[in-house]
Amino acid sequence: MMDLKISEIINALNGKMLQGDKNILINGISTDSRTIKKGELFIPLKGNNYDGERFLGDALKIAAAALTANEKNKKLITYDKPLIYVRDTFEALHKLSRYYRDKFNIPVIAVTGSSGKTTTKDMIHAVLSKKFNVLKTEGNFNNEIGLPLTIFKLNKFHQVAVIEMGMSGFGEIKTLKDISNPDIAVFTNIGVAHIEKLSSRENILKAKSELIEDFTTENTIVINADDDMLIKLLNKKDVQFYTYGIRNGDYRAYDIIQFEGGLRYKFKTPFESMNVELSIPGIHNVYNSMAAICIGLKFNVKKEDIVKALREFKPGKMRLNIINTGKIKIIDDVYNANPDSMKAAISVLREMKQRRKIAVLGDMLELGDYSDKGHRDIGEYVYISGIDILITIGNLAEKIAEAAQNSGMAKDNIYICSSNTEAIDILKGKIRNNDVILVKGSRGKKMEEIVEYLKGDYERIT
């Protein structure tokens, strides 16, 4: 982060100085008193189950300055560090991050969608990094707190920013768009993630479309043209479009060949073609990589550099990582789950040839009224994909087991568990040498515990 003067922050927020020196410089922003560093501004946030103002005194022992929404807090501070009063600290976080964003005249690429947005964002970063110094969203910093903190990481050496945008309801994408002021929007797909709040895919599209409400001829939209909802965005006039897909779009993938641990395909544009190879499996990653290629071409990255970046690309932690222990293979995809990403992961498992296939699947959360159908659809997909053993974890995932059995999967090959520990006990007696095991479920199920067991206990397998 570039330095900001306290006086500059006060003016940007229309705040009130309660104490301290207005000439002090801030070199970072933090909302967590536990990880605060010297030189940072502490912004205490308030939620349903926490109040950052309680830790104001502790934070100011280290921080250079702080905001507060309570003027009385001045009495709690016994040392003379800058303390700035604002009406609402959450609003101040957003306002200050937009002020900081406007200091940079660089293109910002926003990536959103129901699934695949993190991998797509990371692939775009990998491609653009062959030519530019690129800032990207790290981890899950894609919400109304994380995105502003990402913006504050911009520095004078950055030439492009790739920002991931998540959401669960209406208005959230608009807030993120207003903060980051993106020039380019990338849409991966419209599935059923977060359908609990939004009720339908139509509403999910509407919420995601807040990103491009005020896009003009100066803006670009990149969309998956094989998605039946996203193609509706093509009605937007006076915007440059890049459309990609396997069946539809101006930019197409064809001659796709999948192999264990990766795939290759030919990519054709209106002007040229290229041979692409990925070191990660899954047809869904063809789509993710095509979005990255479109962005690379728009930014005039050399074709050979695009191909090299994608060939070298590795996914983030817990995202479709294939781990070869020497005796078994683990498909670690426990970061999160919805019906679309669950089917994509099962497809990867299905393509593992000449191996016995075990799927360990947990609850998919936040599906609302779609939950029953969503889980049952996965059960049917497990059966038609030829999975040998199914282990489910959680009350919701029982529907996966029921649907798999009703579809024709042998009851003796289906195990219903209530906890990760119970699933591990089942695995202990079932794993054989050369098995491939998919582990996937919503983040709240903490299924990385199973992955860690499999990674650490493979020597026992005979």
Q: Could you tell me which residues are annotated as the binding site for ATP?
A: 113-119
- CA-CA distance, 396 to 380, in Å (whole number)? 15
Can you say which residues are annotated as belonging to the binding site?
Answer: 113-119
Alpha helices (H) along 117-262: 117-128, 146-151, 172-180, 195-198, 201-208
Whether 205 and 232 have beta carbons less than 8 Å apart is answered as yes
| 266 contacts 254 by C-beta, under 8 angstroms | yes
**Structure token digits, residue 96:** 């200050």
E strand residue ranges, 133-249: 134-136, 160-164, 184-187, 220-224, 240-245
Specify the long-range contacts of residues 34-42, CB closer than 8 Å, at least 24 apart: 36/62, 36/63, 37/62, 37/63, 38/62, 38/63, 38/64, 39/64, 40/64, 41/4, 41/9, 41/65, 41/66, 41/67, 42/66, 42/67
Q: Whose CA is closest to 127, among 273, 7, 16, 288?
A: 288
Cα angle value 337/45/20 (rounded, 5°): 145
State which amino acid sits at residue 180. S
